[in-house]
Structure 1
């Protein structure tokens, strides 16, 4: 069984000729575009520590992530995505994703979802972080945030 020991929050924004290209370019901007991203659910295992930067992964490495992306195709619109991470006293954590028109709105939504997740689990929330990405669309744009595990 795989158990992550560390995680890092990253963000990226970009334009592209298509939605998929905008997403790929935002992944590159976030520093994770040359990795095989394995989507995982929003649980941080006990003892997993937050890092401020990513290690140097080899190109093509299989890396677990929680990722949220907000794509837009209307010039002038703003797209935003956010993740919030909550940790309890035993080190167990929850990650929640949100999308909105502004980064601050997306962060607030994600924070509130983390608080609710802890409440329904009857756990005390001791640490709470949030990170957002915001992008003004020119043609086809993407804002994304990811929680990368290793």
Structure 2
């Protein structure tokens, strides 16, 4: 199986039970009715990122669905949790790209999302032999990656939430869902 399409989704849930909180996050992301199988970090060649609603139309309840899933949870009141997916897509669509997942505490959407994006871009850049200073800031490396002519686009998709003030479980999810 090599997926031809994928979509991004995210959500969060709050409940007194940890598992129910996760279920509510999946519901908010609209992927609760599938049997999710998490996979690692490769975006297949020629795999198109499509809108979520279009992708959901191609899936049936109960289907085994592969995804890259970022998930984070807390039951600490007001604790900021984040789950982010980063993508790095090569210029040559016949090459594979990278997907990263990042789970953090205390990072806002921009910081967590950019970290995930940086991870994916760095993984792709190292496979393409792009030389860069690993200690430079993300925005500096991003310019080097794009100037190399090998990386077409980098993006991120992030869900953040503050822990429930009463200590209920708060779960965030972000996912890139594959479609055959």
| Structure 1 match to 2:51 | 52
Shift of 1:24: 1.2
Larger Rg: 2
Which whole-Å CA distance do the structure 2 matches of 1:128 and 1:116 have between them? 10
Structural mapping, 1:1-40, within 5 Å: 2-40=1-39
Describe the SS at the equivalent of 1:121: helix
Shift of 1:71: 0.3
Per-residue CA distance 1:72-109 (angstroms, 9 max, x = gap): 11011111111011110222211011122222221111
2:159 aligned to which of 114, 133, 138: 133
Describe the SS at the equivalent of 2:16: coil
Unpaired runs of 5+ residues, structure 2, are 130-149
Which whole-Å CA distance do the structure 2 matches of 1:80 and 1:103 have between them? 7
Shift of 1:19: 1.7
Shift of 1:136: 1.3
Which whole-Å CA distance do the structure 2 matches of 1:14 and 1:122 have between them? 39
Which whole-Å CA distance do the structure 1 matches of 2:176 and 2:17 have between them? 24
Answer with 65-74 or 105-114: which moved more.
105-114
RMSD value, Cα: 1.2
Unpaired runs of 5+ residues, structure 1, are none
TM-score after normalising by structure 1 = 0.94
| Structure 1 match to 2:172 | 143
Which whole-Å CA distance do the structure 1 matches of 2:121 and 2:78 have between them? 33
Describe the SS at the equivalent of 2:174: strand
Shift of 1:145: 0.1
